[in-house]
Amino acid sequence: MIRRKKTSGGQAIVMVTLALIAMCGMMGLAVDLGWSFFVEKQAQAAADGAALAAVQEAVSRLGGGGSAISGFTCGSSSAGTGASQVDCEPANPPTRCGSVLATSSLHVGCSFAKTNGFDDSVARQKVTMQSDGGTNRPPTAPGVVLISYWVTARTVQTIPQLFSAVLNNTQGTVSAIATAGIVGSITPGSFYGMNHAGDCWSLPGAPGVNCGMDIKNGSKGSIGPCPGGSGTGTICAPAGVFLSSTCNSSSPTGNTCSQPWAGDGGSHGGIETSSIVVMGTGGPPNGGAITGTWTNASGANVGATYSNNAATFKDPTSPNPQPPLQASSPIPSCGVLGGNLTGTVGPYQYYSYTTLLGGKPKPDGGQISINGTTTFSSAGGCPGILSGGSAQSGSFPTVVFWGGINVVGTMNLTAGQYVMAGTSVPDTPVMTTPSSGGTIQAADTTATNTGTMFVFTDGNYPGLGGPKVQGNSGGTGQISAIPNWDQMPALYQGNINVKNSTITMEGLVNSAVGGSTLPSSMNVYSGVVWWQDRRNSMVEYNENPAFAPHCSNCTKDDGTVVGCADQTAGQCTASQTTGEIVTDNHVTATSPGVQLDPGHGSINVNGVYYQPRGAWIQIIHGTGFGTGKLQTITGSLETTSGNDKFLLQGPTNPLITYKTALIQ
Amino acid sequence: MNRPAITRRKQRGQAMLEFTFVGIPLMFVLISIFEMSRGMWMYHTMAFSVKDGVRFAVVHGINCINTTGTGGTNPNTCKKTIADIAAQIQGSAVIFDPTKTTLTFFPGDGGAASTPCTMVGAGAGGCPQFKTNAWPPFDSTGATSLDAVGKPIRIDITAPFQSALSMFWPGSRPVNFGTYTLGASSTDYVQY
């Protein structure tokens, strides 16, 4: 008896001990592992926050947007810790936050990690930052090519184990990694109608025309499905439509809403699209109405969805400024007698003259006529009087036409930026073709591989300087390379009318795409083929669509505030006066409007057509629309007559802008 | 002097009685702790792995679609397939039998769920067969594409959990290791 009792007593202790060890092990699995997953979650949040914050800081140090953020490289001048410099720390193993200087852009990321509970100076924690830019891709996300700067944040924490310690597992390590970057993001959608209720096709003060209208399909024909679909449509907008107008049958008429709807799909074929997003908190009367026929690719009716999120209807190109001229110092000017240009010509500033003043040509602001076959090439010369400036050597030069162009013959384009700098006769086109038609075409592989960009503006585009009569007091900017520049007459915004013409062009191709020689600083305008000056608009340029323009939002492309002559309590008036718009921006009654009328020509343009809010485009359907696809960002679109299809771009060649995002 | 012996004699059988009263519930508690711990461990691992997978998916959205060569201009090549995401999930869920762990991929904005697949092997239903299925799906409609920035996506995971717990369940046969299905789900919004 006694022996047995002794044995069983010892047995209990052994059993309990063994059970305890195993139990603690199991408890360890549940408790310690659960805790480590919880900490891991925090570590991931801290790493995500740190990487995003460091990149966001870099964006703001680089100016908030535009060419500087897409063209960033970690050079000796740009990489550093100055107030406007961005820190690149590509070293491996990565730099610990303890070694990141307080003035560095990465320091912001470190402090975010600290706010989220990960502090490099704490013994059991470690936070590291790694960053680089330019063509050096992030090792964690090598597939992301549209990237100009990246930051990888790593957070590590050692956690003491509670139950698992029984199994000699005294320490556990959790870590998280996140990479964020300034990355190229595609802009979804085929069509953006940015005109709000109250934005008209007429100058403020004049009787309102098409106020609050974003899209109207007046095409007559119904000729089968859009490419890739089986529905019907005379406007093909496969990637979706965004309408910023809140017009419906309850809206005030007149200068607020000329029609009781924001968009009209028309009755012949209608508009084929995958989605319609309209501004408002819901259907009419709380948001814009749509009418007419709207179908999807399979022919089923599509209804509107509503959003009152201002960001949805924001200008997709904001906050980027207008595309900068590629030549910062004045390029040579080429005076052309009577404005007649022909032959193989170089990347110069072209201006028209008829008389001499002081032995030098006197610019008359006349339109440049493109005669015969005119080929633009870096090897070309000047068929007139060449003077001033320094020659351009880059693969993406700037060509300026003071007074605009009239394409009578064939205009052969090479890769580059073509600036139509105003018209001397108000209410006339800044680019036109005669009724017999002209040809504008991408003539070589650079023009298709790198792309071409037309800028339609007046004489005061940033960098041009502008005529003296319109305020260029010092002869600064590009215009200073023109002899007798102070004789240049006033140049206004002009409209575009290319009836019967044949146009074949490709928009800008991101420099990360093989074959493209686009300067990386222009990547932020990837896709753009035609750019209309933001100031050429019936509303003072205002990127915030939710309100009547505030002064602080009423910005000129250089960031300065315009149109505040009659400001009350820090606000511009809800609608500017004719005088303000004309004086500020040289806009005329018809200049924000564009007429695309292929007639018996052919328009094959691929890329993004950008017009600001307050501008409009009118499509007169001939039979000449080919396969070119335009992603159209504009104030308002109207198609009239004709029965061809107007193709808008799907997601293959959209606007790419640079933004901050997590990429790994 | 012989009081203890008397007491011992009186208490004979008491240990067995106590063991009956205390031991059985104690074993129940013990095994329950074991099994609950194991279950929690599995659930944590599962939730963690699927969260990891969703995070992996949301940073490889519409901007990762390579469109160069088809008239497009996006040179990024970071798009992931269902197989890639399954591999990522498997990497953080090593404790599961990959042939029995099922993943279901939901584009959260009303799109149809993918065919549920097991992480590897197990015949035609395995995720590796979806090596060409880009996910979240790109449906060529831009703003409404299910991989567009801001669209919600969801991944569900289920795995069998064989537990001894059920043997204590009233009505169970003495030794019955019931099989339960543990599941976890994670939702996030496309970032890039």
Q: What is the mean pLDDT of chain A?
A: 85
- Residue for token pair 């590291």: A128
Specify the higher pLDDT residue, A255 or A95: A95
- Say which of B30, B75, B191 has its CB closest to residue A145: B75
Helix (H, G, I), strand (E, B) or coil at A13: helix
Q: Does B13 touch chain A if contact means CB atoms closer than 8 Å?
A: no
Local confidence band at A543 (pLDDT 50, 70, 90 cut-offs): very low
Under the phi-then-psi rule, with left for phi > 0, alpha for psi from -120 to 50, and beta for the rest, what region is B172?
beta
Helix or strand (DSSP H, E) at A440: strand A439-442
| Out of A46-55, A309-318, A470-479, A643-652, least confident range | A643-652
The segment with the largest mean pLDDT, out of A407-421, A429-443, B5-19, is: A407-421
Please name the residues in contact with A35: beta carbons below 8 A apart, sequence gap of 6 or more: A159, A162
> Nearest-CA distance from A632 to chain B in Å?
14
Helix (H, G, I), strand (E, B) or coil at A589: coil
Share of chain A above pLDDT 70, in %: 89
Torsion of CA A26, A31, A33, A36, to 10 degrees: -160
Rounded to the nearest angstrom, the gap between the alpha carbon of residue B33 and the centroid of all alpha carbons in its chain is 20
Specify the higher pLDDT residue, A294 or A648: A294
Residue A149 has pLDDT above 90, yes or no: yes
pLDDT at A418: 97
Residues of A in contact with B85 (CB under 8 A): none
- pLDDT one-digit tens code per residue, A601-656: 888 888 999 998 889 999 886 666 777 788 999 999 998 876 667 778 665 678 88
> Nearest-CA distance from A633 to chain B in Å?
14
Q: Does A139 touch chain B if contact means CB atoms closer than 8 Å?
A: no
Please name the residues in contact with A417: beta carbons below 8 A apart, sequence gap of 6 or more: A323, A325, A326, A396, A397, A398, A399, A452, A453, A455
pTM here?
0.86
Enter the tokens of residue A122: 């704490």
Please name the residues in contact with A491: beta carbons below 8 A apart, sequence gap of 6 or more: A365, A402, A403, A421, A422, A423, A424, A458, A459, A460, A466, A467, A470, A586
Residue A564 has pLDDT above 60, yes or no: no
Cα separation values, A179 from A53, A142, A151, A273, A653, Å: 11, 11, 6, 35, 26
* Rounded distance between C-alpha atoms, residue A507 and residue B15, angstroms: 91
Helix (H, G, I), strand (E, B) or coil at A218: strand
| Out of A88-102, A170-184, A417-431, B56-70, least confident range | B56-70
> Which residue is closest to B65 within chain A, CA to CA?
A652
- Say which of B44, B68, B77 has its CB closest to residue A143: B77
- pLDDT one-digit tens code per residue, A499-509: 888 999 999 99
Residues of B in contact with A33 (CB under 8 A): 41, 44-45
Rounded to the nearest angstrom, the gap between the alpha carbon of residue B39 and the centroid of all alpha carbons in its chain is 11
* Rounded distance between C-alpha atoms, residue B103 and residue B89, angstroms: 9
Count of residues in chain A: 664
Specify the higher pLDDT residue, A162 or A591: A591
Torsion of CA A213, A214, A216, A222, to 10 degrees: -160
| Out of A43-57, A186-200, A535-549, least confident range | A535-549
DSSP characters for A220-264? Answer: ----SPPTT-SS--SEEETT-EEE-----TTS-TTTT-SSS-SEE
Interface of B with A in 42-71 (CB under 8 A): 44-45, 47-48, 51, 55, 58-59, 62-65, 67-68, 70-71
- Say which of A183, A277, A652 has its CB closest to residue B72: A652
Instruction: Note whether B48 contacts A40, CB cutoff 8 Å.
Output: yes
Specify the higher pLDDT residue, A223 or A594: A594
Q: Are A532 and A456 in contact (CB under 8 A)?
A: yes
| Out of A127-136, A198-207, A459-468, A566-575, least confident range | A566-575
Q: Are A189 and A240 in contact (CB under 8 A)?
A: yes
Residue A221 has pLDDT above 90, yes or no: no
Share of chain A above pLDDT 90, in %: 46
> Nearest-CA distance from A99 to chain B in Å?
29
**Is the four-CA dihedral A188, A193, A195, A201 of positive or negative sign?**
positive
pLDDT at B7: 60
> Which residue is closest to B138 within chain A, CA to CA?
A651
Q: Are A316 and A192 in contact (CB under 8 A)?
A: yes
Q: Does A29 touch chain B if contact means CB atoms closer than 8 Å?
A: yes
> Which residue is closest to B36 within chain A, CA to CA?
A30
Residue A541 has pLDDT above 70, yes or no: no
Q: Does A304 touch chain B if contact means CB atoms closer than 8 Å?
A: no
Q: Does B101 touch chain A if contact means CB atoms closer than 8 Å?
A: no
Helix or strand (DSSP H, E) at A19: helix A2-27
Q: Does A311 touch chain B if contact means CB atoms closer than 8 Å?
A: no
Give the CA radius of gyration of chain B: 26
Under the phi-then-psi rule, with left for phi > 0, alpha for psi from -120 to 50, and beta for the rest, what region is A272?
beta
Q: Are A201 and A616 in contact (CB under 8 A)?
A: yes
Range of the domain at B170: 3-189
* Rounded distance between C-alpha atoms, residue A339 and residue A423, angstroms: 13
Q: Mean pLDDT, to the nearest integer, of A245-257?
A: 88
- pLDDT one-digit tens code per residue, A23-73: 787 777 778 888 888 999 999 999 999 999 999 999 999 888 888 899 888
Residues of A in contact with B9 (CB under 8 A): none
Under the phi-then-psi rule, with left for phi > 0, alpha for psi from -120 to 50, and beta for the rest, what region is A515?
left
Helix (H, G, I), strand (E, B) or coil at A165: helix
> Nearest-CA distance from A492 to chain B in Å?
34
- pLDDT one-digit tens code per residue, B88-120: 999 888 888 888 899 999 887 767 778 888 887
Residue B10 has pLDDT above 70, yes or no: no
Residue A572 has pLDDT above 60, yes or no: no
- pLDDT one-digit tens code per residue, B127-144: 888 888 888 888 766 677
Residues of A in contact with B40 (CB under 8 A): 29-30, 34
Tally C-beta pairs within 8 A across A and B: 145
Please name the residues in contact with A247: beta carbons below 8 A apart, sequence gap of 6 or more: A197, A212, A213, A256, A257, A259, A260, A261, A262, A288, A289
Chain A interface, mutation test: which of B11, B68, B73, most A Cβ atoms within 10 Å? B73
Local confidence band at A252 (pLDDT 50, 70, 90 cut-offs): confident
Overall domain count for chain B: 1
DSSP state of A94: P
- Say which of B37, B58, B76 has its CB closest to residue A145: B76
- Say which of B58, B73, B192 has its CB closest to residue A656: B73
Strand partners, B180: B161
pLDDT at A370: 94
Instruction: Note whether A512 contacts B78, CB cutoff 8 Å.
Output: no
The segment with the largest mean pLDDT, out of A60-74, A477-491, B21-35, is: A477-491
| Out of A132-146, A335-349, A630-644, least confident range | A630-644
Q: Mean pLDDT, to the nearest integer, of A536-562?
A: 52
Cα separation values, A100 from A59, A110, A111, Å: 18, 8, 11
Interface of A with B in 39-98 (CB under 8 A): 40-41, 44
pLDDT at B1: 47
Closest-CA residue to A540 (of A294, A204, A267): A204
- pLDDT one-digit tens code per residue, A264-273: 998 888 898 8
Complex ipTM, two decimals? 0.84
